[in-house]
Structures are given as structure tokens and as C-alpha cells.
Structure 1
Amino acid sequence: MNAVLIAVGVMLVLSLLRINVVLSLTVGAIIGGLAGGLNIMDTIDAFVGGLGGGATIALSYGLLGGFALAISRTGVPEVLVKAILSLVQHEGDSQKKGAAKALIFLVLLSLAIMSQNLIPVHIAFIPLIVPPMLKLMNMLEIDRRLIASILTFGLVMPYMFMPYGFGLIYQDIIVTQMGLAGLDVALSEVPKAMAIVALGMAVGLVGAFITYRKPRQYKTVEVEVTNAPVQEVKTRNLVFAAIALIASLAVQIPTESMIIGSLVGITILYITGALKLKEADEVLSDGMRMMAFVGFVMISANGFSAVINATGDVEPLVANAMKIFDGNVSVAVFIMLVVGLIVTMGIGSSFATIPIIAAIFVPLAVELGLSELAIICLIGTAGVLGDAGSPASDSTLGPTAGLNVDGQHNHIWDTCVPTFIFYNIPQIIFGWLAVVFFL
């Protein structure tokens, strides 16, 4: 049996059994290497030799985590929460239910989108802002499944389409892993390739609005919410935080480096005193620790890819697959998208899926005669599929954490199932159409 299939199969089975994905990747790589005719030392050498390929992504994640937590300590999230709650509650008190609902939807969608790029705090804003809103949402009889869908859209769509913040990291992974698989592409091509798929997500969001537009009643349960900031919020710190964010984004765009952008932002917070020197080490360490897991996954995934390439079984796999598909591009693309969905659903990370599938999909797509844009779209879509809807994904765990503080929002049925239906299905359809369009 083909060593690549064995390696991927072992990794998938272990991941689906909830074995830590880093361990799953390592075990899968070793078994795949042995199955491909490598001895244990050659397999280990190939794995270790490939680890360095994930270092840039791991460092990007670590510094971004540190920068995000440093920004949160300046008081920016607390100020945003207070301002937003003041606006929303004012609209609710005036009995303008339609306007209040629209404002809540717009605020949550905007914050979710900005959490991936402009204010890169990821899901950290959700526990701050959603629980204080629940009482008002109950009064307005808003279906929380719609809120979960809005938040997940804002957490996923930006990184797959916008090359900033987490989006720059995701798209850089696509470019890097495609290069390792033998196809060099430009980072600037990724947003073009993913535009149609992003449109598919927007269609799914509209579908969620239509489906969950009817009022839904919840019991009013008092929950303990901490609105007060943990430390005094100083205006000067807010100003310097804003400068740091703007500077970070301004540097990140021309350099296409999240590392440089994060370093510039952190340095500004250091120099201005917005980040106190006596607290800086702890804050940055905690932030890096917050993102460490994804970094380890990316490093391990690169080792996994190196072992797969070292076996030499990629080409035979492609040749055999071509016989099965018999040149049917449409069927091949659909099957690859489904495989991407299964992988991401299992491990809960689109970022970690790309290195796993790129080694197989890129050579196969080239053999099928797909254009560069079509292959980018195929890899990017196969990677993002399953982030929405996966029980193990931050994009579903985050919304549930905020919406279920009173015990009335089920993680699977109220977050995972709705987001799976309204985002994964459109992504497969629009992703398939986009690949065919770019042919």
C-alpha cells in the first residue's frame, strides 16, 4: 500500500480519536516512513530535517499572541465593550427592536472580523462582550444560533480572504506548502483565488439570517459578568495602543511579515510605556503560550510533509489516482475538497490542515492540468473547510463560550450544526465552482 496513504490514514484516525494532533502527525510520519522503505533513522532524520520549515509560522503565531495580549492589557477591549454595550442598551430601552437587533448584529460581525486583522485578539473578545448582551438578546428574542453563525463568519472569512493578521499567516502557509510540494506561487494570488469562496460564505450568512430570523425565547438567567477593567484604563495607553496597531498593520502590508508587524507593535508599546516593563515578560510569555499549540502543530506538520516527500511515494500515488479519476477533473476536485473537510473537522485547525494535504493535492492537481489560481483555490478551500462546524475548532468553541454562560446554548446543535450547514456546504459548492472557473 502507498506510504503516503498509510501516513495520512494513521494521522487521520488518531486525530479523529482525539489523540493530540502533534502526536498524531509524529506517529503518522514514522509509520509512513517505515512503510515507504525508510529505516527508522532515515525517517527520524527526514522528520527532524523538515521541522525548521514551520519555524517562521510558529514564531509568527507566538509574537502575534504576545502582541494581542499586550494590546488587551492596555484597556482597549474594555473600552470597546463599554461603548458598544452603551449603544446597544440605549437602542433596546427605546423599544426600537429592529434597530437594536441590527446594531447587535453589526457590532458582533465587525468585532469578529477585526479580531482577525485590525485588532488581532482572535476569540478573546467574545467572553468580554457577549455575556453582558445576553439579557438584551433574550428581551429581543434573538435566536442564538444566528449569533453563533455571525461570529463564526467573522472568525473564518477574514483569514481565508484578507491577507492581514491571521489571514497573512494562513495565506503564507498555503504559499509555503505549495512551494514545498513543487509549485511556487505568489502570496498576492491567494486573495484572488479565494474571493469566490468568500462570497459563498456570505451567501451562507444570508441563509442563516433567513433561517433563524424568527423569535426564539430563552429564560432570563442572571450570570456573573465582570465589566470593570482589571486595571485602570489610561487615555495615553489607549492612544499608544492605537498607534501600535496602526504601525503594525502598516509594516505588515509591505513586508508581508507578521513577525515584523508584531515586533513593531510590541516595541511601540514598550517604548511608550503602555506595556509596563515589570509586566512585559509575563504578558508576552502568556500571549505566546496561548498560541504555542498551533505553532507546535505547524512545526510537526512540516516534519510530516518532509517524511512523505522522502518516501518517494507521492508520484506513484498521483499516477494511480489519475487512473481512478480517468481525467475527470470535476470528480477529483470534489473528492479532494471532501478530504480537506474530513481532515479539518478532525483536528479543528485549518492552519494545520494545509501542510497535511498540500503534499498530495498539489502534484495531483498539476497532473490534472489545473491552473495556478485553481490549485491555490483548491488548497485554500480544502484547508478552510471544516473550521466552521468542527467541535474542536476555536471558531465554534469561542462563540459557544460566550453564548452558553447561562447554560442555554448547546455547543453541537446550536453552534456546530448551524455553522456546518451554512458555511461548509456553500464552501464546497463555491469552491468547486471556483476551481472549475479558474481552469
Structure 2
Amino acid sequence: MEWVVVVSVLLMTVLSLLRVNVIISIIIAAIAAGLMSGLNIMESIEMLVSGMGGQANTALSYVLLGAFAVAISYTGITSILVNYLIRVLTGKRTMLLLVIAGVASLSQNVVPVHIAFIPILIPPLLKLFDTMRIDRRGVAVALTFGLKAPYVMIPAGFGLIFHGIIYDGIVQNGASITMGEVAKSMIIPGLGLVVGLLIAIFFTYRKDKAIVPENDVASAVSEETKRIVFGTKHMLTIIAIIGALVVQILTDNLIIGALTGLALMFLFFVIPFSKGDKIVTDGVSMMSSIAFVMLVASGFGTILKDTGAVDALVEVSSGFLGDNKALISLVLLLVGLVITIGIGSSFGTIPIIAALFVPICMAAGFSPLATAALIGTAGALGDAGSPASDSTLGPTSGLNADGKHNHIWDTCVPTFIHFNIPLFIFGWAASLFL
């Protein structure tokens, strides 16, 4: 039973590397996990479907945020940003990648649209990337950094939710900690993500990509787009974005935040009421595939959890570790990596592993800060690099707009290498020294 998690996740990973569709890979891995746990095919499928509701709130949030992002794009404000980036950063490869990482970081804490901005912001820049001979794998790493580092390190927006889940998981399982201590515990692991980004930009993907440009830089945007200038509707759009951010922070609810942003844009007449159906339809179209992958991944996670496969894996792992903190930390992080790759969601992994990690950490004498660092890092491990994660699905949705970017080899593999390795090392160090 303890090998069910490992075998099923490896199966999903191998299928994905062989370029089998991500959703199909997850379904096959989930059925395999059910069969290895003693269920038949029908029972496995029924459990998979029943568990899909676990990410329903998040999936709905993303769909609404997709509509919000489409509405923002309709005003032309993103085109202004794209034009500015092209004008200022053409020829400045390193700066462009750092700016993309910075813009992506804003999507987690300042403008809570998460991955919804990528299919709008990135496609107009693709020809610029080709003209500058930028390796798109470097862009994927920059985008994934912006989708991960803020929620790992900063207790605001998505980060407040992530830190809150860690806090709840620790407190509900018998340990004591404060939200401030949770934030402190994640600083060192978060620095590992910074190191991974810098390695990718300044070393791994520094060389020119062998690309033959199809058009010049000027063709990256249309003539109509170039004529867009900042005006009143763009100022009102910024107010709507701020309103959505404030409501999201006050309510800790992305759905309410997205609805607020959409409502303000309609109330300000930034978006005509006649365009309402098209805005929502386009938003659903843009985000529905990602939302559905998350739903199926949630069902996969339910099978792993409810069949006892995760419990068995951790029990076996902890049974032969004794009181060696370094070894315990190492094994727990490996367990977190395997689970998160399979589920594809740091947020969905934390409640599962907290119930299992906290008793082990308390028995071994880990401090509350070290325990939080272990749980937070174990949850974040695998988010980058997982074929089912929104942190990889999002970048691919933008970079593959012209069909030149492969989800597994150009997004998942580069982000796995550059973020999971340093995150593992820094998280392991944090658990030993905090």
C-alpha cells in the first residue's frame, strides 16, 4: 500500500513525458492507484469523480478570474503594457525576463488574477521573444517564479491563504504557532526560488535560442494596438482592479474578489453590458481546460488520500527514521514532493500532509518554525514541474499560443529542475536551523 502513491505518480509523470494528454495521464494514474489499493475500475472512477469537488471552489475562481482578465484586456490596458515592454526592453533580454517575473509576481498579491493574465499578456510578446532569440524555457521559469514565490514568501493575497492553510494545519493537529512565525519560516525556502530564477536567467538560458524570426519586432503588435493611449477608461480599470484586490483580501475569497472587479467594470461602463456574454464566454474558454485539469487532479488526490495510500507512505517512512532530524526532514520533503506532483496543488497538499507531518515533527523535537518550514516546503515542492499544476499550465497556455512550446519538456522539466532542487535544499536547511 505504501508504494501506491509513488507508483501512480511515476506513472502519471512517465505518461506526461511521453506527451500523453495531461488529463488522460492523471485519469490513468488515478485508476491505477485505485486498482493497487484494492478497488475495481468502476469504484476507482466513482471515487475520482466524487473527489473532483475538492477543487471546485478554486476552479470556479479561475474561470471568473479569466473573465476578469478578458475584461481588463478588452479595455486595451494590457496592450499599453505590452507596447511599453517592447519599446523599453527590446534587446535587453535579461531585463525582459526579470520584468516578466516581476509582473507575474504582482498577479499573486497586488492584482489577484493569478494565471489569468498570462494568455493575455504573453502571446503578443511571442514574436518579440523569437526576434530577440530568447529561449522560451527561460520565460516559463520566470512566469512560474512569479506564480510561486509570492505566495510562498509574502503573507498577502494568495500568500495569506497559503500561510493560513499552514497555520490551520499545524494548530488543528495539536501544535502551537502564530501567523507571523509561519511567515518567518517560509523566508528561507522562498530564497531557494530566487536562486533558481537567477540560475535560469543568468546561466541556463542565457545563450541565444536557435530561432529564425518570422517578422520584425514591430509586428509583435498590430497597428491598431499601437495607437492605444492611456485614458479615463484605463484609470477606471485600475480602480476596478484595486477594488477586486481589496475585497479579496478582506473576504479571503477569490470568487467574491473577481465578481467585484467584473461588477465595477460594468458599473463604470468600461465594459458595455452588451459585451457581458462574450466577456464571460471568452474567460471560460481561456481557463476551462486548466480548471478541469485541477478538478481531475483533485479526484486523483482523493483516491490517494481516502484509500490510505498517503498515510501508509508516511507511516513507513517515519518507522525507520528514529530521531535523526536531518534524515526525517529529508524523507518528509521527498514525500511532499511526490504527493504534490501527483495532486498538482500546493494549497491542496497542505491539509493532507499537515495531519501526518505534525505528529512526526513534534515527536522528533522540531520547533514550530521548523515544522512550518517543513510543511510549507513539502507542499510547495512539486507545484513547479507538475503537469497538473496551474503554475505550469498557466505559462504553457501563453507560450504555446503559436504552437511552438511543449508543456512537458519546455515548461514542466525546466521549472522542476530550477525550483524544486533549490527549494528542497533551502527548505531542508530551514527545518534544521530554525
TM-score between both structures, scaled by the size of structure 1: 0.75
Alignment of 1:123-134 (within 5 A): 123-134=118-129
1:65 aligns with 66
2:21 aligns with none
Which letter maps to 1:350? Answer: S
2:328 aligns with 332
Native 8 Å contact 1:390 1:416 kept in 2: yes
**What are the Cα deviations for residues 288-326 of structure 1, in whole angstroms up to 9, with x where unaligned?**
561532652575377558735xx6994x87665443111
Native 8 Å contact 1:252 1:258 kept in 2: yes
Counterpart pick for 1:431 among 403, 413, 427: 427
Q: CA deviation at 1:199?
A: 0.9
Q: Please say if 1:12 is aligned against 2:9.
A: yes
1:287 aligns with 283
1:137 aligns with 132
Counterpart pick for 2:195 among 203, 208, 231: 203
2:109 aligns with 117
| 1: CA distance, partners of 2:122 / 2:150 | 20
1:54 to 1:220, Cα distance in 2 relative to 1, 3 A: closer
1:318 to 1:137, Cα distance in 2 relative to 1, 3 A: closer
Native 8 Å contact 1:11 1:25 kept in 2: yes
2:306 aligns with 307
Identical-residue share of aligned pairs (%) = 41
Which letter maps to 1:8? Answer: V
Q: Please say if 1:350 is aligned against 2:346.
A: yes
Alignment of 1:20-419 (within 5 A): 20-21=25-26, 24=29, 28=33, 32=37, 54=55, 56-89=57-90, 92=91, 100-119=92-111, 120=113, 122=115, 123-138=118-133, 145-175=137-167, 189-212=181-204, 215-216=207-208, 218-222=210-214, 225=220, 227=222, 228=224, 235-288=231-284, 290=287, 292-293=291-292, 296-297=295-296, 300=299, 303-304=302-303, 307=306, 314=311, 321-346=317-342, 348-390=344-386, 393-396=389-392, 399=395, 415-419=411-415
1:76 to 1:214, Cα distance in 2 relative to 1, 3 A: closer
Q: CA deviation at 1:421?
A: 3.2
Q: CA deviation at 1:278?
A: 3.0
In the alignment of these two chains, the number of paired residues is 414
SS at match of 2:365: coil
- More off after superposition, 11-20 vs 107-116: 11-20
SS at match of 2:109: coil
| 2: CA distance, partners of 1:270 / 1:30 | 50
1:428 to 1:293, Cα distance in 2 relative to 1, 3 A: same
**What are the Cα deviations for residues 125-154 of structure 1, in whole angstroms up to 9, with x where unaligned?**
45334313225423xxx5555444333322
Native 8 Å contact 1:88 1:103 kept in 2: yes
Which letter maps to 1:76? Answer: I
| 1: CA distance, partners of 2:313 / 2:387 | 31
- More off after superposition, 347-356 vs 69-78: 347-356
Which letter maps to 1:380? Answer: G
Which letter maps to 1:195? Answer: I
Native 8 Å contact 1:389 1:420 kept in 2: yes
1:56 to 1:163, Cα distance in 2 relative to 1, 3 A: farther
| 2: CA distance, partners of 1:149 / 1:262 | 26
Q: CA deviation at 1:194?
A: 1.4
- More off after superposition, 384-393 vs 329-338: 384-393
Native 8 Å contact 1:77 1:125 kept in 2: yes
1:97 aligns with none
1:14 to 1:417, Cα distance in 2 relative to 1, 3 A: closer
SS at match of 1:218: coil
Q: CA deviation at 1:378?
A: 1.7
Which letter maps to 2:148? Answer: V
Which letter maps to 1:236? Answer: T
Q: CA deviation at 1:207?
A: 2.6
Native 8 Å contact 1:354 1:379 kept in 2: yes
Which letter maps to 1:137? Answer: M
Question: Considering only aligned residues, what root-mean-square deviation do their CA atoms show, in Å?
Answer: 4.3
SS at match of 1:115: helix
SS at match of 2:212: coil
TM-score between both structures, scaled by the size of structure 2: 0.76
| 2: CA distance, partners of 1:324 / 1:210 | 41
Q: CA deviation at 1:428?
A: 0.7
Native 8 Å contact 2:297 2:388 kept in 1: no
Which letter maps to 1:113? Answer: S
| 1: CA distance, partners of 2:163 / 2:432 | 21
2:416 aligns with 420
| 2: CA distance, partners of 1:392 / 1:313 | 18
| 1: CA distance, partners of 2:327 / 2:204 | 33
Q: CA deviation at 1:413?
A: 6.0
| 1: CA distance, partners of 2:29 / 2:360 | 24
Which letter maps to 2:81? Answer: L
Native 8 Å contact 2:78 2:121 kept in 1: no
SS at match of 1:386: coil
Q: CA deviation at 1:238?
A: 1.7
Native 8 Å contact 1:6 1:31 kept in 2: no
Q: CA deviation at 1:372?
A: 3.3
Q: CA deviation at 1:243?
A: 0.5
Native 8 Å contact 2:54 2:299 kept in 1: no
SS at match of 2:320: helix
**What are the Cα deviations for residues 219-278 of structure 1, in whole angstroms up to 9, with x where unaligned?**
432058554559988833322220111112223334333233223222212211223323
Q: CA deviation at 1:427?
A: 0.6
- More off after superposition, 105-114 vs 286-295: 286-295
